[in-house]
Amino acid sequence: MDHGDYPLELPEGDRPMVRFMNVTKRYGSLTVLDNLCLDVAEGEMVTVIGPSGSGKTTVLRMLMTLETINGGIIYVDGKPLTHMERNGRLVPADERHLRKMRSSIGMCFQHFNLFPHMTALQNCMEGPVQVLGLPKAEARARSEELLEMVGMIEKKDQHPSRLSGGQQQRVAIARALAMRPKVMLFDEVTSALDPEVIGEVTNVIRRLVGEHNLTMLMVTHQMGFARDISDRVCFFYRGKIEEQGPPDQLFGNPQRERTQQFLSAVKEAD
Amino acid sequence: MSIWEFLQTYGARIIDGTLVTAAQFVLATLVAVTAALAAALGKLSRNLAVRGLAVTYIELFRGTSLLVQLYWIFFVLPLFGITLDKFTAGFLSVGLNIGAYGAEIVRGAIQAVPKGQWEAAYALSMSPARRMRRIILPQALVLMLPPWGNLLIELLKGTALVSLISVADLMFQAKQINASTFLSAQAFGTALVVYYLLARFLITPAMRRLERVMAQRLGRA
Ligand SMILES: Nc1ncnc2c1ncn2[C@@H]1O[C@H](COP(=O)(O)OP(=O)(O)O)[C@@H](O)[C@H]1O
Ligand SMILES: [Mg+2]
C-alpha cells in the first residue's frame, strides 16, 4: 500500500467534510469494507442503511478511529485523519495525531455508554473540562444549555442508572455535542430503546438537523425517520455502497434489485 | 491461672502487640494496594519491558512462600547492600506478597469494565492515561472491593509471620508470654481471639461500608 499517491491535504474547492478514499477494512480473512469511497459534505445528513453485517457500524467506527484501516485513507475537513504528514509524505497516524483529529468527531452509541459514576451534567462536562481544558463554569454553562436542548435539564443531577434508555441516549447526545464536533455519528441510537421512547431521541436529532449546521452520518433501521431527515441515503451491501441517492429516490424508486429486496423485507417486518 | 488473671498480668503486652500488628497491617495494606495497582497497569501495558517486570513480580511473589520472601528481604538483601530494619522488612514483605495477588484482582476488575466505556472515553478524545484514571479505574474500584475484603483478611493473618524476624507484634508477644510462663492456651487463645476480632469487627465492616459508599457514587444505592 502506498500512501504517497494520496494528497497531503484536499484542495480548496474539493473539500468535503468527510472523505473516504478507497478504504478497505479486513478482520482476518474477512473483508468487511472493500475500497469504500464516500463523501459527506459540510452540513449534510447522510444515512446508512443495509442488512445486518454489511459494514455500517464499521464505517462509523473507522471515522471515529476506533478501528484502524487496512487500505485507503480518510480525510476530515480536508486533512488526513488516518494518516499524518512526515517529511512531506503520508504515514499512518500516531496516537497524538488521532487524538487531535478525532476531537472534531462526536459519536453516539447504540447502548449510550454514559459514565455510570457521573451525573448527567458531569457526563457532559467531562470532555470539555478534561480534554478541551475549559474552565468549569464555562463547561457547565455549555453542558446545561445542551441538556436543556435535549430536554434533560431537570435530570441533570441524576446518575445514568436512574434514567430511562431514551433519557440516557439524549444525555449521550448532549455529551457528544459538548465537545463542539464538526461531525456527528449516530450508530443505531434507537435500536436499544423501547418503542414508546424512540420519538424523544429522533426528535432531538431532527432538531439538530433543522437548527445546526452539523455534518452527520447516521446508521438506522428506521426507514421512515431516515426518509424524513436525510439529505442522502446510502444502501450498504456486503461492504460496498450498492446504491445511494436522495431519500425520495432511494425509497420511492430504488434501481438495484438488492435495494428493492431489502426495502420490501424491511417493510414486511414493520 | 484464670483468663482474667492472665489478662490483668499480660494485657498490656497483648495490647502493645496488637498495636504493632495494626501498624503492620495498615502499612502492608498501603504497600499491597500500591504494588497491585502498579503491577496490574504494568501487565496491561503495551510496553514489553514494563509488562515483563510486572509479570515477573507477580509470578515471583505468588509462586513462593511469604515466609521465604520475608527471610529474603530481611536476611539476604543486606548481602546486596540493602539493609532494612525488621519493622520495615516485615510490612514490606507482607505487602508485596499480598500485592501480587491483588494485582490479578485489579487487572480482572479493569478488564471487567464494559468495552463501551473505553470507547465512549476514546470518542471524547481522552488520552489513555486519562481514560484509565477518570473513567475505568473508578468503575473497576467498585468491582474489586469485595475480593479485596477477603485479601485484606489474608494480609492480616500474614502479618503474624513478622514475629519470626522479631517484630514485636501480637504473635511475638504471645510467643514470649508462652515461653516464659507455659500458659499456651491463654497466650495463643488470646491471640486467636484478637486476630478474629480485628478481621470480623474492623476489616469486614470497614470494607462493607466502603462498598456501600462506592455503590452510592455510582448512583446504584
Ligand atoms: N472486531 C471484529 N472482529 C471480527 N469481525 C468483526 C468485528 N467487528 C465486526 N466484524 C464483522 O464485520 C462485519 C461488519 O460488521 P458491522 O460493521 O458491525 O455490520 P453492521 O453494523 O452493518 O451490522 C460483520 O460480518 C461482523 O461480523
Ligand atoms: Mg451495526
Ranges assigned E (strand) in A133-246: 183-187, 215-219, 232-237, 240-245
Ligand 1 touching residue A25 (CB < 6 A): no
Ligand 1 touching residue A119 (CB < 6 A): no
CA distance linking residue B17 with residue B172, whole number of Å: 7
Judged by a CB distance cut-off of 8 A, whether residue A182 touches chain B is: no
* Domain locations in chain A as residue ranges: 3-104+181-269, 116-180
Residues with CB under 5 A from ligand 2 (ion): A 57
* pLDDT, tens digit (0-9, with 9 covering 90-100), for A110-163: 999 999 999 999 999 999 999 999 999 999 999 999 999 999 999 999 999 999
What residues contact residue B164 under an 8 Å CB cut-off, 6+ apart? Answer: B67, B70, B71
Q: Which of B120, B128, B142 sits opposite A113 (nearest CB)?
A: B120
Mark A162-195 as b/e (b = at least 16 C-beta within 10 Å). ebebbbbbbbbbbbbbbbebbbbbbbbbbeebee
Rounded to the nearest angstrom, the minimum Cα separation between B45 and chain A is 15
CATH of region A3-104+181-269, choose from 3.40.50.300, 3.40.1390.10, 3.30.70.1290, 3.40.50.150 = 3.40.50.300
Residue B126: CB atoms within 10 A of its CB come to 22
Judged by a CB distance cut-off of 8 A, whether residue A95 touches chain B is: yes
Q: pLDDT value at position A267?
A: 83
* pLDDT, tens digit (0-9, with 9 covering 90-100), for B170-189: 999 999 999 999 999 889 99
- Which domains are present in chain B? 3-217 (1.10.3720.10)
A92 near B86, Cβ under 8 Å?
Answer: no
Q: pLDDT value at position A132?
A: 95
B122 near B131, Cβ under 8 Å?
Answer: yes
Residue B11: CB atoms within 10 A of its CB come to 12
State what percent of residues in chain A have pLDDT above 90: 92
Q: How far is CA A82 from CA A25, A152, A182, A241, in A?
A: 13, 35, 17, 21
Confidence of residue A2 (pLDDT cuts 50, 70, 90): low
**CB pair distance less than 8 Å for A176 and B123:** yes
The model carries a pTM of 0.90
Mean pLDDT score of chain B: 94
Mean pLDDT score of chain A: 94
Q: Which of B124, B127, B219 sits opposite A179 (nearest CB)?
A: B124
Rounded to the nearest angstrom, the minimum Cα separation between A43 and chain B is 20
Ligand 1 touching residue A32 (CB < 6 A): yes
Ligand 1 touching residue A220 (CB < 6 A): no
Judged by a CB distance cut-off of 8 A, whether residue A21 touches chain B is: no
Confidence of residue A57 (pLDDT cuts 50, 70, 90): very high
Q: pLDDT value at position A228?
A: 92
* pLDDT, tens digit (0-9, with 9 covering 90-100), for B62-75: 999 999 999 999 99
Q: Which of B125, B134, B218 sits opposite A161 (nearest CB)?
A: B218
Output the CA angle B149-B151-B154, nearest 5 degrees: 120
